[in-house]
Structure 1
Amino acid sequence: MSSSARVSLSSEALALGPLDGRYRPAVAPLIDHLSEAALNRNRVHVEVEWFIHLAQHQVLPGLEKLTAEQEAGLRAIVTDFNTDSVAELAEIEAVTVHDVKAVEYYIGRRLEALGLAQLTPLVHFACTSEDINNLSYAVGVRDAVVDVWLPAARALVAQIADMARADRATPMLSHTHGQPATPTTLGKEIAVFAHRLGRQLDRIEKTEFLGKINGATGTYAAHVAAVPSADWQQVSESFVTGLGLTWNPLTTQIESHDWQAELYADVARFNRILHNLCTDMWSYISIGYFQQIPVPGATGSSTMPHKVNPIRFENAEANLELSNGILDTLGATLVTSRWQRDLTDSSGQRNIGVGFGHSLLAISNVAKGLERLDTAADVLANDLDHNWEVLGEAVQTVMRAEAIAGVPGMENPYERLKDLTRGHRVDGARMQEFVKGLDLSADAEARLIALTPGTYTGVADALVDRV
């Protein structure tokens, strides 16, 4: 179809990206924290709180404290922020061609109704745009992580831990290098992921969200020029910490974004471990260790009726990769700014929500995928019963212990078991026959005769309790 013959699909109701279209329900909670509208609301919040902070501390000569009613009215500018506010800000920015200046004028328009018109110059006092932006991003990222991403991630890890406990004693053939190996339990292998993911969440929960408000090049030059008697560093610190952030005392024009790089690296590492879980679950499904519970009415394959495709895990893999592509880029670029300021961070930070959105979508898909799995205990047991050769490790290790204890005839244990098992399928009868011919001590022989691939799991079940 030629471009002239196409019907235009341009509409506010249509989205260019899948997070704002197909997948919007899964990521919608992030909109209130990491969207452009949320950024502007947070800018209004920071500007209003700075205005109130200066008045409360009477930093400027002649500045009187605000009444409780005036403070409430100022904060209502934030709580009343809505889609009409977004449209008004857009109209102002179309004139100013500057987003933060538009916020300053937006607040200024509302001061007269509060009896504060004379204090209009106090809005954005001694601030550079980055003073407002760095704090607004810090508040938005903090709230997105604490209120949305972390609860979803914690719920998923709890779900994984529950699965581990349910299958804590279900024996499973291991596959190291893709080959049959010393058995484990399905629960223990799942518990490993719960433990790994949980460690990353512990790191993320300890994140410091830094902020600064110190002027055009971080020197408080305009502040001191206007009011040299004020302790501007103390004013700055008390304001930043009052927002629930950690004060950064030493910066250029920008807050250095190191905390963001640290956070994104930790989230990306969580994503990578979750990606590993997805590939393992996909592989276990492919060899029949799990059965997928069909969703009533759902199509597994468009042409093969028998199939139920593991699409939740495949979707999650793709979204985790997309998330890390963005988070890795942000972490690598945000820590660099030419001299005292460049604007490369401005465009980059507008994609923070996209990075977290793809991660949140993946978390949702993994949770749904895990919900539709049933352990195929019969398949696991059959696989173990066809791989008695994995007991070769146990037999040769017992022979080593017997040799140390002075039992004769225990020479070359590894080599003897290699001859028995490598390249050969060994059934239970052949393994027990071999053990009986070793002249082991009575106790050692009894232990090995009683051993099967399904019971050769060490303390795997107990290890699950460490989650």
Structure 2
Amino acid sequence: MSDLYENPLITRYASREMASLWGAQRKFSTWRRLWVALAEAEAELGLPISAAQLDEMRAHVDDIDFDAAAQYERRLRHDVMAHVHAYGDRCPQARGIIHLGATSNFVVDNADLILLRESLAIVRRRLVSVIDSLAKFAQQHRSLATLGFTHFQPAQPTTVGKRATLWAYDLALDLQEVEHRIEALAARSIKGASGTQASFLELFDGDHAKVAQLERLVAQKMGFERTYAVTGQTYPRKVDAQVLDTLSGVAASAHKAATDIRLLAHRKEMEEPFEAEQIGSSAMAYKRNPMRCERICGVARFVMSLAGNGAATHATQWMERTLDDSANRRLTLPQAFLGVDAVLRIYHNVASGLVVYPQVIAKHLREELPFMATENILMVAVQAGGDRQELHEHIRQHSQAAAGRVKQEGAVSDLMERLAADPAFAGVDLEAALDPAKLVGRAPEQVDEFLRDVAGPIRQRYADEISGAEELAV
């Protein structure tokens, strides 16, 4: 409806895949699958639950009457019980055993853990696809010398490919965290109203072994081999904080790379893809604004801001739990994943279509190269018998004078002419000192090593998950 606010993460930025994963159909179907898993496990351990009841429950996992559930919730003011009743309407034979022994967080928390696991898998797939695109870019430009920057001031030259490995390595470190979070996730399973499993112990007449077995069975039916060792009513909200921190880390890495590309676009050295009919500005028709990278930064900043919610929610869970986590988690968990999904989709699009302007890069490098070469010139002059400290002072004075002409008069640097006229450097081949290939150090070899030792194993391990960049709707 056009008169209501729509979340732009859904309508503009994130994928339908991620949006559907956190949608109502998937959420409440997962609740019903959990109720089926609980009933199946209870039946297997001897509770009087019939095959007909289980069949009826299985048959109605996905046909949810959302209107009926909404009507129940308006009356009951309890979302879980509303869906228990709506499911019971579909399953009259099984109505009496749905949710048997469980508390609300049996479905709420276990479903969220399943969604977290599947969402992290999507993030992992998007990460490896961006890493793959950056690796291709780094290989292509492994030896293209360019100015390096520290403090955003010209520093020793590097290569375009080496700079891209910095972006890719950040994502590789993020991938390690995502893999760890997926591996660390466990099931809450059947912990009961305050985490003591008292209701299930009552159902099984005080048989502790059966309750423990029920916990394992339900977890396995959810696809988990492990359960959290102890919980209150909820799984540890520390887990949410850790996941949000991981997503914040991914967003920060993307923000950093997108900012670099925006700065390089200002220097006209590199640009994100720009389509034939794309408009950069409604007023300034000549402009080619880096809107994709700006969007990465904007959405990434939003995701990064959500990390504090996880820590605050974990910190304020009194005793066995409070309910002030619920409204917050409904917002932060889905939107953090939708935001990271959007960021990585855009990043993949950018990384797959980066445009490099070697002539501009070379021009900027030439303008600064005399200053960049002074360290190597100093080393050669010392090897020729000069005094290091005296030579350093000569270079300092000449550099300051040449820089003064550039800054105050707009002139071209005459540093090399000054050094050539100085007898202290008579034995130095100044022309050879200006060869960019001699000033980039091991940057090309570092690209090769990164591709072999870091990106290569990732690309091999996830070969089936690497995809091409998606076309962006806007």
Q: If the length of structure 1 is used for normalisation, what is the TM-score?
A: 0.84
Q: Mapping of 1:209-358 within 5 angstroms? A: 209-212=185-188, 213-227=190-204, 228-231=206-209, 232-245=211-224, 246-291=226-271, 294-351=274-331, 352-358=333-339
> Residue 109 of structure 1 aligns to a residue in which SS?
helix
CA deviation vs aligned residue, 1:119-153 (integer Å, no higher than 9, x gap)? 5433212111112211011111211221x332223
Which of residues 433, 441, 465 is equivalent to 1:458? 441
CA deviation vs aligned residue, 1:373-427 (integer Å, no higher than 9, x gap)? 3211001111111111111122334556x39xxx454444433332232352455
Higher relative contact order (CA 8 A, sep 6+): 2
Structure 1 residues 291 and 229: alpha-carbon distance in aligned structure 2, compared to 1, 3 A threshold: closer
| Code of the aligned partner of 2:7 | G
For residue 436 of structure 1, report the CA deviation from its aligned partner. 7.7
Query: Counterparts of 2:142 and 2:345 in 1: how far apart (Å)?
Result: 24
Query: Counterparts of 1:431 and 1:233 in 2: how far apart (Å)?
Result: 83
> Residue 337 of structure 1 aligns to a residue in which SS?
coil
Query: Counterparts of 1:370 and 1:37 in 2: how far apart (Å)?
Result: 34
After superposition, the CA RMSD in angstroms is 2.7
Query: Counterparts of 2:160 and 2:423 in 1: how far apart (Å)?
Result: 31
| Code of the aligned partner of 2:33 | H
* Moved segments of 4+, more than 6 Å: none
For residue 51 of structure 1, report the CA deviation from its aligned partner. 0.9
Query: Counterparts of 2:102 and 2:340 in 1: how far apart (Å)?
Result: 34
**1:199 corresponding residue in structure 2:** 173
Would the aligned equivalents of 2:130 and 2:348 in 1 still touch at CA under 8 Å? yes
**1:419 corresponding residue in structure 2:** 397
Q: Mapping of 1:358-397 within 5 angstroms? A: 358-387=339-368, 388-397=370-379
**1:5 corresponding residue in structure 2:** none
**1:91 corresponding residue in structure 2:** 71
> Residue 424 of structure 1 aligns to a residue in which SS?
helix
Query: Counterparts of 1:333 and 1:416 in 2: how far apart (Å)?
Result: 61
| Code of the aligned partner of 2:441 | G
Structure 1 residue 44 corresponds to structure 2 residue 32? yes
Structure 1 residue 77 corresponds to structure 2 residue 52? no
CA deviation vs aligned residue, 1:289-333 (integer Å, no higher than 9, x gap)? 024554122222112121111111111111111122223323432
Which of residues 159, 177, 180 is equivalent to 1:185? 159
Structure 1 residue 20 corresponds to structure 2 residue 10? yes
Would the aligned equivalents of 1:289 and 1:377 in 2 still touch at CA under 8 Å? yes
Structure 1, gaps ≥5 residues long? 1-7
Q: Bigger shift: 345-354 or 429-438? A: 429-438
Structure 1 residues 222 and 193: alpha-carbon distance in aligned structure 2, compared to 1, 3 A threshold: same
| Code of the aligned partner of 1:205 | E
Would the aligned equivalents of 1:323 and 1:355 in 2 still touch at CA under 8 Å? yes
CA deviation vs aligned residue, 1:23-73 (integer Å, no higher than 9, x gap)? 16x332122222344322221121111111111232x3xx36748xx7565
Structure 1 residues 95 and 453: alpha-carbon distance in aligned structure 2, compared to 1, 3 A threshold: farther
Query: Counterparts of 1:323 and 1:300 in 2: how far apart (Å)?
Result: 26
Would the aligned equivalents of 2:146 and 2:160 in 1 still touch at CA under 8 Å? yes
**1:129 corresponding residue in structure 2:** 104
For residue 273 of structure 1, report the CA deviation from its aligned partner. 1.4
Structure 1 residues 429 and 233: alpha-carbon distance in aligned structure 2, compared to 1, 3 A threshold: same
CA deviation vs aligned residue, 1:156-183 (integer Å, no higher than 9, x gap)? 2221222211111110011211222100
Structure 1 residue 430 corresponds to structure 2 residue 417? yes
> Residue 422 of structure 1 aligns to a residue in which SS?
helix
Query: Counterparts of 2:264 and 2:130 in 1: how far apart (Å)?
Result: 19
Give the paired residue count. Answer: 432
Query: Counterparts of 1:110 and 1:293 in 2: how far apart (Å)?
Result: 52
